[in-house]
Structure 1
Amino acid sequence: MFKGIVKLSKNGKGSLLVSEDLSFKLSRKELFKVFPGDKVECSVQQDKATIQKIIERNTSEVIGKLKKTNKGWIAESVNNEFHLEIVIKKNTSKKLKNGDFCKIKIKKQPSLKHRPEGYIVEQLIFSNIFEEADEIALQTNLNIKRTFPKIILPEINRILREHNSGNFSSKYKDLTDKNFFTIDGKNAKDFDDAICCEQTSNGYKLLVAIADVSAFVSEGSSLDKVAAERATSIYLNSKVIPMLPKELSNDICSLRPLEKRLTLVCEMILDKDCSLKTFKFSSAIIESKKRFTYDELSNLEKDNIDRHPEFSNDLKKLLEICKKRIEKRKQRLAIDFEMNEYRPEVKKGKLKAFVPVTRYLSHKAVEECMILANISAAKFLKENQISTIFRFHDFPDMDKIISLQKFLQSRGLPISEDFNLSRKSIFDWVQKTSKHKINEILALEILKSMKLAIYSSERSEHFALGLDEYLHFTSPIRRYPDLVVHRCIKQIIHNKKFKSLSKNDLADIAENCSFREREADQISKEADKVLRSRCGQNYIGNKFSGIITGVTEFGVFVKLDQINIEGLCHISSFKNKYYNFNYEMKSLVSRQGTISIGDKMSCIIESVHPYEGKISLIPA
């Protein structure tokens, strides 16, 4: 017998997931017994599982789209991985109509004897397309907890009382006279970090102050257990699902301007070339003197700096540090993927296009300061032989790099047949792609060949950054590994005994944090797909030029110019339907010619399925 979680692929095939390395098939008949996410016990013959027992139901509520039938109302979940329609009971409202969205409480779970049944809790009217996209995306993972359990309320009230008393520990140095400032996005509320830059006779003193969440969240407390389980905040277009309650994340932990806050400060001494010479950590009370936004400072040009005379010296030093640290990145052959990010552009209530997000030098300046603090924290804990959680990025697999080499050669890049699998080889390839006319697509293919960065209690190296020791220290409001790191540092600087976490404990925390991070990324991607589909709906029947971004055996993905959304042009819509798929070259090959990534292609948007995030194209 095997215990596992029911999974359903988007093409309707079911499986029992026992572990990341072990799964079994579930027949269509077995899928009538369950919802995706249910925990079950199965018998297994060969590679097929039969459900013997439902251990735990995963679905109590769904958001569904209503449909009227001869026998009454049914609802289809907006999560396209849900395969069963829900029969609506106890509905007397005459206001409902086909296509309405409703929150539905599941009254009767599915079985072979009957379909699932539920009743309408509330009719949903989304205030805008961003809220709609976020709700649909959140339906793809019903394990995400949107509210906090009542058990933590007494703890929150105690924390607020203690904070409001203003009785800070004598272990905190008073650095409120320092010229700390924050730089964040214009809509940010959880300010994790503040920066202070000073000139020294031999270089610079850089202070990075990070919100001291560990001063409020006691290890092993109910609040700590909730934060550990969530592991990360999820940032969507219309909302945030925070790791910590807003009383902490947006208030007493957030480094808001002109308010005294408890922090853990990393003080770093840099030489004139901005090499890291020394560092030390201390608990300190700071007061951020100013909140800047990335847009406000943009590229830290003289005009932007001069608008803030009381910070002009600080910002000039920040600019110098940034430029010199970028050179250091190049010297250590860090792999940088300069790819565009896109944001939705709304005009007159309609989503008209996705436009490139400008990445300013102010973004890079903050990033370099945070990387320096993360490096210092990793070195500090290693030097003191304290077990912790690192940010590990492994070397890529050789077979993927060989495939990547052949693909890049097929696109005309001058890459030698003989190469050593090293950071320098990949660094050189990235440099060569940056000058290519389809550089963004080629850079994406290089990125796909890399392994994912994960959290680890054992390995500390980071391949892409070119570092032997690295971890996350700078965002404890929104990342649980950073909170663990803070506790480890304070254990040393205050001789404070936290609960001693074993290697196994740390390994379990690291695994959960990596898993939750991937979940959050996937939900963000699902919301983005819905928005792009909504954009595509405004242009059904319109013709666009585009560029092929992906090739499969069943067709090609095309990114449409001007609106920057991607759709699938299925091979069945091609005049010539007989192609051979070349995996290494990522091409479709026929006697008439070859279709490859990077080729230009004109397409018409034929249809859009927004709740599935699908845009169907046909050749123009």
Structure 2
Amino acid sequence: MAVMTFPDRQTVLDFLRENPSATTKQEIARGLKLKGKERTILREILKEMEGDGTLERTGKRAWAQADRPPPTGVVEFTHLDDDGELIGKSVGDNGLFGPEIRYAGPSGKPKAKAPAVGDRALCKISERDGEWLARAITVFEKRLSDKLVGLYSQTQRGGKVVPSSRKEKREFVIQEADRNGAEEGDLVIAEPKPVGRRQYGPAFGIVTEVIGHITDPRSASLLAIHAHDIPTEFPEDALEQARDPKPAAAEREDLTAVQLITIDPHDARDHDDAVWAEQLDDGWRVIVAIADVAAYVTEGSPLDKEALKRGNSTYFPDRVVPMLPFELSADECSLRENELRRCMAVEMVFDKSGTKRSHRFIRGMMKSAAKLSYEEAQAAIDGKPGGKAEELLDSVLKPLWGAYAALTKARDKRSPLDLDLPERRIVFDEEGEVQGIVAKERLDAHRLIEEFMIQANVAAAESLEKANSPLVYRVHDVPSDAKIAAFADFLQTIDIKWHIGERPQTQRFNKLLQDIRGGVYDEMVTQMVLRSQAQAIYSEENLGHFGLNLAKYAHFTSPIRRYADLIVHRALIRALKLGPDGLSDQNAVRLEEIAEHISTTERRSMAAEREATDRYLAIFLADRVGAEFEGRIMGVTGSGLFVALAGSGADGFVPISSISDDYWVLDQAAMEIYARGSGKTYSMGQTVRVRLKEVTPLQGGLLLEMLSEPQPAPKGRAEARKAADAGGRSPRGRGGPPRRGKPKFNKKTLPKHKRKSRK
């Protein structure tokens, strides 16, 4: 019979749950009243539970439950969520652990330094309504890089570098010997100057590279590229491989008789997908053909190493930083009209209702019958054909639209999340100057290609799962309980009920969006639905794609610009025995690591693209200071309001201290600020009139002045707020006390409020 020892694992775990402030071995031993040999047993139990992941070491002799942060500990702030809130995780000896923690302000002095992304802080950590909150005691700044990208200017004592990022707090003083040819107005990269002893006073730096000049129309993208370390130059061995491509040998099916066509933007330089359809007696046959990039970019080759390093292409308003050299992507891997090309294709058969009956993958040879723009294809279908589109109207375009009509029935039944978000394009003149901003037109031709690509991506995931093959999924997780609860709280403030007991469904979101479409709450609710969503990422684990309402989804259709698609192509080649250049065993076991890396490079590209766009919009509006604009409130924080200007869509900031002499309070659940006393409000989605007060093109910042009067609050809400204000408490339980005060505008540290996830 086994002899029970004291303490045991369960005793220790129960004690830690009931006494979260006791983290060290001594505190645990004291709390359990352990002596002598029992303390030795405790040491072994703690070591064992650390080894199996039950406990996380948070210090030299301190532990916490792996899924529970300590009441006081170090938090590393890693990112901003869709609401612009600062999010982090607890720091232990083995790295970050536990749930996500939201920064909830300083602990103590209200003017204490606030952490930013990349910073670590000693925090008081607590749980409220299922959400973890951190209040900073001391901030320890953590920098991913010591370099500073910014603007060089001459001063009386030499020069200085002002950062181009709003989040960057440093400036460097540059001595004459350290400017290395930098002149007034140059955009530079600078690094801290080594000092022999502890330095007080201004930080000195050394200019290491001049990357351009502030007057260069292309400077906005240059700054973003260098600030985010996006590689622009290809190694010579990769370029040599691209110039002299040698495709892997493989048996191929002849698709040259099939009238596959490419439909792309009118200015596209490469064409990596082609489509074709034909009507059957009881449905439709569709072929989606994709450039066979895997045949040219083989595992471990110079091109492969560089493509993995980049992860994806990055698209700026004025240029593209490609994942693969244009020598390859715009030549052998571009499905040019009437030129023989290698492809990976999927043939799919759908019934008349758009339900897929079968599919098969083909490694083939094809010859594009035509290169059409979206506008040309759409015009032909709308009765205004011309050129190649007219020649192919009956034989190719009409069958494509017929198949699309069937797929639309299935799509509507599936009910993917229907967020109709406007997109804008920056137009440049021949000199690269911003000429204007135009709304992107959304045509059926765009939707057709998008739906065909989605079906091809689904087929890839299904085939690989059926073959028990490892793969990288494109996943979009279900909204978290905390975000759904916050969303429900918000809807309650506008008298809309949302039951939170059941699993979120896209149909419920779509019904809500349909009900409020065109009404006073349309923009507001649409933005709140967007903010409630998780971010789409790559994962070797299948979490499904909530936004598309699909159980299986993998990226297959763009291997020229996404490394994830290249992995999926290789996995298909291996699983379906389509050639010798499939996914290797070495890379098959690295998919978790690769998925995490390419998710990171995608976020990097998205951040750089947003920064460049903000700068170009600021440049476009620089000569409009003093002008009045209509806008819509798209973000509400304790610091002020974010307003999207009509026409350009540019984001500006109205500091709360500049609105009026009222004492403004943030109601986070209602996404509005209200004036204590009068109860008047500025709310998310409200249309307002603003004046442009200041533009900072270097950081892409717009400072606005509010001209519109606040709106009266609904009677019931106003009464609740008066009672809450009288008692000195928050009008709502969630999210903690309201944020008050009148912070000063800081054009270098304006937070972002809009985050878009890519499908």
TM class by smaller structure: 0.7 to 0.9
Cα distance in 1 for residues equivalent to 2:96 and 2:609: 22
1:529 has 2:611 as partner = no
Which of 318, 325, 328 aligns to 1:238? It is: 318
Relative to structure 2, which stretch is displaced further, 453-462 or 2-11? 2-11
Cα distance in 1 for residues equivalent to 2:637 and 2:604: 25
Deviation at 1:255, TM superposition (A): 1.2
1:67 has 2:67 as partner = no
Which of 379, 385, 390 aligns to 1:309? It is: 390
Q: 1:28: which partner in 2? A: none
Q: 1:110 to 1:156 in 2, by over 3 A?
A: farther
Q: 2:481: which partner in 1? A: 398
Cα distance in 1 for residues equivalent to 2:220 and 2:179: 28
Q: 1:138: which partner in 2? A: 225
Which amino acid in the other structure matches residue 316 of structure 2?
A: L
Relative to structure 2, which stretch is displaced further, 469-478 or 350-359? 350-359
Alignment map for 1:77-92 (pairs within 5 Å): 77-80=163-166, 81=168, 83-90=170-177
Deviation at 1:86, TM superposition (A): 4.7
Q: 2:561: which partner in 1? A: 478
Q: 2:278: which partner in 1? A: 198
8 Å CA contact 1:343, 1:355 repeated in 2:
yes
Which of 593, 606, 615 aligns to 2:693? It is: 606
Deviation at 1:429, TM superposition (A): 1.6
1:584 has 2:669 as partner = yes
Alignment map for 1:203-218 (pairs within 5 Å): 203-218=283-298
Which of 429, 439, 463 aligns to 2:512? It is: 429
Q: Secondary structure at the residue paired with 1:250?
A: helix
Cα distance in 2 for residues equivalent to 1:347 and 1:170: 46
Cα distance in 2 for residues equivalent to 1:192 and 1:110: 52
8 Å CA contact 1:300, 1:362 repeated in 2:
no
1:384 has 2:437 as partner = no
Question: TM-score, structure 2 length as denominator?
Answer: 0.70
Per-residue CA distance 1:135-166 (angstroms, 9 max, x = gap): 12223313x21112234345345x43x36xxx
8 Å CA contact 1:586, 1:597 repeated in 2:
yes
8 Å CA contact 1:398, 1:421 repeated in 2:
no
Cα distance in 2 for residues equivalent to 1:266 and 1:492: 15
Cα distance in 2 for residues equivalent to 1:195 and 1:514: 28
1:506 has 2:603 as partner = no
- How many residues are treated as equivalent by the alignment? 593
Which of 558, 564, 575 aligns to 2:660? It is: 575
Per-residue CA distance 1:212-244 (angstroms, 9 max, x = gap): 111011112232122112111101122211111
Alignment map for 1:155-194 (pairs within 5 Å): 155-157=241-243, 159-160=244-245, 162=246, 169=249, 171-194=251-274
8 Å CA contact 1:193, 1:474 repeated in 2:
yes
Alignment map for 1:218-617 (pairs within 5 Å): 218-298=298-378, 301-305=381-385, 308-313=389-394, 314-345=396-427, 351=434, 354-411=437-494, 414-415=496-497, 420-423=502-505, 424-494=507-577, 496=580, 498-501=583-586, 504-590=589-675, 591-592=677-678, 593-617=680-704
Question: TM-score, structure 1 length as denominator?
Answer: 0.85
Deviation at 1:501, TM superposition (A): 4.5
Q: Secondary structure at the residue paired with 2:483?
A: helix
8 Å CA contact 1:555, 1:568 repeated in 2:
yes
Q: Which runs of 5+ in 2 are unaligned?
A: 1-58, 61-73, 104-115, 124-135, 708-759
Cα distance in 2 for residues equivalent to 1:554 and 1:119: 35
8 Å CA contact 1:530, 1:610 repeated in 2:
yes
Deviation at 1:353, TM superposition (A): 5.3
8 Å CA contact 2:354, 2:409 repeated in 1:
no
8 Å CA contact 1:38, 1:58 repeated in 2:
no
Per-residue CA distance 1:78-98 (angstroms, 9 max, x = gap): 23426131515448999944x
8 Å CA contact 2:632, 2:688 repeated in 1:
yes
Which amino acid in the other structure matches residue 549 of structure 2?
A: G
Deviation at 1:406, TM superposition (A): 3.1
Cα distance in 2 for residues equivalent to 1:507 and 1:335: 27
Q: Secondary structure at the residue paired with 1:139?
A: helix
Q: 1:380 to 1:103 in 2, by over 3 A?
A: same
Which amino acid in the other structure matches residue 150 of structure 1?
A: E
Q: 1:57 to 1:468 in 2, by over 3 A?
A: closer
Which amino acid in the other structure matches residue 315 of structure 1?
A: L
Q: 1:538 to 1:408 in 2, by over 3 A?
A: farther
Which of 100, 118, 138 aligns to 2:206? It is: 118
8 Å CA contact 1:433, 1:443 repeated in 2:
no
Cα distance in 2 for residues equivalent to 1:89 and 1:5: 37
Cα distance in 2 for residues equivalent to 1:257 and 1:153: 25
Cα distance in 2 for residues equivalent to 1:272 and 1:198: 12
Q: Secondary structure at the residue paired with 1:292?
A: strand
Cα distance in 2 for residues equivalent to 1:147 and 1:94: 23
Deviation at 1:274, TM superposition (A): 2.1
Q: 1:417 to 1:479 in 2, by over 3 A?
A: closer
Q: 1:286 to 1:502 in 2, by over 3 A?
A: closer
Q: 1:292 to 1:540 in 2, by over 3 A?
A: same
Which amino acid in the other structure matches residue 319 of structure 2?
A: K
Cα distance in 2 for residues equivalent to 1:8 and 1:372: 32
Q: 1:30: which partner in 2? A: none
Between the aligned residues of both structures, percent identity stands at 27
Q: 2:739: which partner in 1? A: none
Alignment map for 1:89-100 (pairs within 5 Å): 89-90=176-177, 96-97=183-184, 100=185
Q: 1:104 to 1:396 in 2, by over 3 A?
A: closer
Deviation at 1:64, TM superposition (A): 3.5
Q: 1:265 to 1:93 in 2, by over 3 A?
A: closer
Cα distance in 1 for residues equivalent to 2:346 and 2:156: 68
Relative to structure 2, which stretch is displaced further, 557-566 or 357-366? 557-566
Deviation at 1:189, TM superposition (A): 1.6
Q: 1:47 to 1:249 in 2, by over 3 A?
A: farther
Which amino acid in the other structure matches residue 609 of structure 1?
A: T
Cα distance in 2 for residues equivalent to 1:20 and 1:522: 23
Which amino acid in the other structure matches residue 683 of structure 2?
A: S
Relative to structure 2, which stretch is displaced further, 345-354 or 444-453? 345-354
Per-residue CA distance 1:243-274 (angstroms, 9 max, x = gap): 11222222111112222111101011111222
Which amino acid in the other structure matches residue 474 of structure 1?
A: T
Q: 1:524 to 1:169 in 2, by over 3 A?
A: same
Which amino acid in the other structure matches residue 546 of structure 1?
A: G
Q: Which runs of 5+ in 1 are unaligned?
A: 26-35
Cα distance in 1 for residues equivalent to 2:535 and 2:448: 24
| Greater radius of gyration (CA) | 2
Q: 1:563 to 1:50 in 2, by over 3 A?
A: closer
Deviation at 1:576, TM superposition (A): 3.5
